[in-house]
A and B are shown apart, each in its own frame.
Chain A
Amino acid sequence: MSMQSSISHYSDQIKQAVVDKQLLQIAGNQSKVPLYEDAQLLSIADHTGIVSYDPAELVVTVKAGTKLSDLSAALAENNQMLGFEPPEYGDSTIGGTYACALTGPSRPFRGGLRDFVLGTQLIDGQGREMRFGGKMLKNVAGYDVSRMLCGSKGSLALVTELSLKVLPLLEEQTYSIPMPEGEAILLMNKMQGTSLPLTGCAYFEGKFYYRVAGEHPTQDNRVEVTACSNDVWKTLNPFQPKLAEGEKLWRLDVESTNPAIENTIAVGMGGTRRWVASKNKPNHPYVTLWQSRFAPRNNDKPCVQRIKAGLKDVFDPHHIFKDL
């Protein structure tokens, strides 16, 4: 299907859903969110391919159904990469990654997914095609709808195309030091305040891991430091640990200096992310239940709930996109 015809096909499906009062669930390759029975599938999985890519512009424009693996491979051919290191849950698409606002270990250093979004093409809940933002690294014309929709999980609009900033592919080296969790949290914060070109800081299975990019001073002046493979970052991103019977995996977003939290099995993103395995929900303001499937947090204050509900009405006045 040509791009234009497939866009009108999506637009028609949405307009029909309005007429039929049919709830639609937008999905790509369904690697992250299950299909719900009360909604009809609106699949973006076939809408794939790179629309434009000029390495010297540091910008790629890609259709939302494109697999992360295909996109990363195309960028790697030009020694470039997605700076936010998206997690791969199995044929994950760039659209789904954007919808869930997923970012890897480099977030504190290079920024999260939202920091790389420049523009979107989308279809709203009335079937209207629109473009927000653009392909420029700097653009402050109008409200930043493209970045705002990051994390909206398909609840406001069908995003069909994304323009993203890309970065040069870097050579990276990982090091590890065995130490207790509390000490590791302190050390990773101290190191992030130095000019060492870090791109990852984590604590996992008794070791503090850190990753350095490009030319950097020798690390053997630290006690017990070992150079190791970069694979640990793949283990932590996506983090899918084996849990004991009855335990659940919780994702906590905290300040980087937050002291060690009970039942933590991994610390990521320079200390700002804590993975907790426990039966009960940890008592913390920013907790998400993170089984292999994603669950919403739903703990917004009433004023924020009101804003989000208002935005839902603006983008999807007939409420045909399923809220996830």
Chain B
Amino acid sequence: MDVIQALEEALNKNCILSSEEACRPYECDGLSAYRQKPLAVALPEDVEQVKQVLRICKAHNTPVITRGSGTGLAGGTLPLENSVILGLSKLNKILQIDPLQRTAIVQPGVRNIQVSDAAAKYGLYYAPDPSSQVACSIGGNVAENSGGVHCLKYGLTVHNVTSLTVLDMDGEIIRFDEKDDGIDLLALLNGSEGLLGVIVEIKLKLIPKPEAAQLVMAAFNSVKACADAVTSVLKQGIVPAGLEMMDKFSIQAAEDFAKVGYPVEAAALLLCEVDGSHDQVKVDAQRVADILTQNGAYEIRVSQNEKERIELWQGRKNAFPAVGRYSPDYYCMDGTIPRSKLAYVLDEIDKLSEKYGLKVANVFHAGDGNLHPLILYDANKPGELEETEKFGQEILKLCVDVGGTITGEHGVGVEKLDSMCHQYPQAELEIFHGIKNVFDSSGLLNPGKAIPTLHRCAELGHMHVHNNQLPHPELERF
């Protein structure tokens, strides 16, 4: 009996997809440049069935790629030819909301926004809000340690998860809780990109909705002045709930698309939101406006009511599709840099843009240094995707070289495996492989993602061979 037959026998027939057409929607996630049809897709309806899928795949030595809503942007759930996709979209129940304790217990297939919607009647919400929150699932958020516009103040997913129930490849249940003693395994599971276990239940922290929020929009004549203004705001003791920056191209595209009244002639636009109690917000919004003016903003607008605040955000929130209208395809990068290097890095990206002859729009979370350069290209032109990828990798290398990192919130997936070789030397990568082996000695959970093989890094020229001797010759590499 093959693995598909075994799965069909163990689960309801309608929980297993194996035909060409049925598997097609699972051939890629949000990074559609890479595609591969899986062997089959299993859609279990409860934890017991997840266990069965894992046990059957283990017995058949079949790789398992766990998937939620498939909104990931780094190819973290790209199938392998011989793999089973373990889709957790049917595990989509909010099991409990405890308003007094301010926690929610949810299944992994619950969409991010549903948690806040369910908690709203108690005046609570779930803080991490990736831009895809309408569609993305909590399980995927945990696997990728997702962030969003508000993480400077409210943290990433890892800061808002208090307990996880996970299945290992043998189907054994393991619980990790913030109350556990010693090594912080709960932290390790966050952002592990589906390589260490299958998350089946999550306990989340809920927080009170802020009483008030105000948005300050500021226009600048230069990127440097805008970047310096960001620095001043943070230096003067204000931690904004959101701090977003857009370059000239993005401003124009966003305004053209959403028509919110952004100053299209500006070189850079800053959107700074403060939230909290009514009293605090009043004080902070005025202070932010003053600081930005002192730092050279030539136009300031402060939202006077909720309607205005939401309208002003519309341009930024639609910036990606707005830029997308200028080109058949775009490639969204995700690196982080120290804020002090912002002007320098944007300048270098401009130079690279000329070198490759590809246009770039810059929209980013200025508060935490997370850049999202959008490289515009045309996949139908032969070789242009490859050039775009090279360009993207140069941007990530630039981020590492100025002290940043290759991914702030999208994850490594398959997309940034080569860039990992630039960020991490061999010893660190060996530790990563060691960790993977502790949790999944069979190597069947999402193999080939997130952590590059030493072989791959050596091929890219990052293994230093001294005196003709390989470090750790005992390791199998080629």
Q: With A148-B184, A253-B179 known to touch, is A141 a contact of B156 (CB < 8 Å)?
A: no
B182 to A153, Cβ gap below 8 A? yes
Q: With A167-B239, A197-B276, A307-B185 known to touch, is A141 a contact of B439 (CB < 8 Å)?
A: no
Q: Nearest-CB distance from A66 to chain B (Å)?
A: 21
Complex Cα distance A189/B182, Å?
27
A residues less than 8 Å from B438 (CB atoms): 307, 310-311, 313-314
Q: Which of A17-25, A87-95, A123-131, A176-184 contacts the other chain?
A: A123-131
Tell which of A143, A214, A307 touches B192, judged by Cβ atoms closer than 8 Å: A143
Chain B, residues 132-156, CB within 8 Å of chain A (1/0): the string is: 0000000000001101000110011
Tell which of B172, B182, B280 touches A303, judged by Cβ atoms closer than 8 Å: B172
**A238 CB-CB contact with B under 8 Å:** no
A134 to B101, Cβ gap below 8 A? no
Complex Cα distance A254/B103, Å?
13
B residues less than 8 Å from A286 (CB atoms): 179-181
B190 to A144, Cβ gap below 8 A? yes
B334-378 contacts to A (CB < 8 Å): 336-340, 365, 368-370
**B247 CB-CB contact with A under 8 Å:** no
A34-51 contacts to B (CB < 8 Å): none
**B100 CB-CB contact with A under 8 Å:** yes
**B420 CB-CB contact with A under 8 Å:** yes
Q: Is the interface of A mostly helix, strand, loop or mixed?
A: loop
A residues less than 8 Å from B231 (CB atoms): 56
Q: Which residue of B lies closest to A167 (CB)?
A: B239
**B99 CB-CB contact with A under 8 Å:** yes
A142 to B184, Cβ gap below 8 A? no
**B176, B365, B404: residue with the most chain A Cβ atoms closer than 10 Å:** B404
Tell which of A101, A142, A215 touches B280, judged by Cβ atoms closer than 8 Å: A215
**B122 CB-CB contact with A under 8 Å:** yes
Complex Cα distance A301/B172, Å?
12
Chain B, residues 183-200, CB within 8 Å of chain A (1/0): the string is: 111011011100010000
A296 to B182, Cβ gap below 8 A? yes
B98 to A257, Cβ gap below 8 A? yes
Q: Nearest-CB distance from B184 to chain A (Å)?
A: 5
Q: Which residue of B lies closest to A58 (CB)?
A: B234
B residues less than 8 Å from A285 (CB atoms): 179
Complex Cα distance A254/B408, Å?
33
Contact-residue size bin, chain A (C-beta under 8 Å from the other chain)? 35 or more
B416 to A216, Cβ gap below 8 A? no
Complex Cα distance A150/B158, Å?
14
Q: With A136-B369, A138-B156, A196-B277 known to touch, is A147 a contact of B187 (CB < 8 Å)?
A: yes
Q: With A114-B187, A142-B451 known to touch, is A195 a contact of B277 (CB < 8 Å)?
A: yes
A140 to B277, Cβ gap below 8 A? no
Complex Cα distance A214/B238, Å?
11
**A281 CB-CB contact with B under 8 Å:** no
Complex Cα distance A301/B123, Å?
37
B431 to A296, Cβ gap below 8 A? no
Q: Which residue of B lies closest to A252 (CB)?
A: B179
B235 to A55, Cβ gap below 8 A? yes
Chain B, residues 308-352, CB within 8 Å of chain A (1/0): the string is: 000000000000000000000000000011111000000000000
A140 to B183, Cβ gap below 8 A? no
Complex Cα distance A137/B405, Å?
10
A residues less than 8 Å from B211 (CB atoms): 195
B100 to A193, Cβ gap below 8 A? yes
Q: Nearest-CB distance from A269 to chain B (Å)?
A: 11
A interface residues (Cβ-Cβ under 8 A, vs B): 54-58, 78-80, 101, 111-112, 114-115, 124, 128-132, 134-145, 147-153, 156, 167-169, 186, 189-190, 192-197, 214-217, 253-257, 285-286, 288, 296-301, 303-304, 307-308, 310-311, 313-315
B interface residues (Cβ-Cβ under 8 A, vs A): 98-103, 122-124, 144-145, 147, 151-152, 155-156, 158-159, 168, 172, 174-176, 178-185, 187-188, 190-192, 196, 208-211, 231-232, 234-235, 237-239, 276-277, 279-280, 283, 336-340, 365, 368-370, 403-412, 416, 420, 423-425, 427-428, 431-432, 434-435, 437-439, 450-451
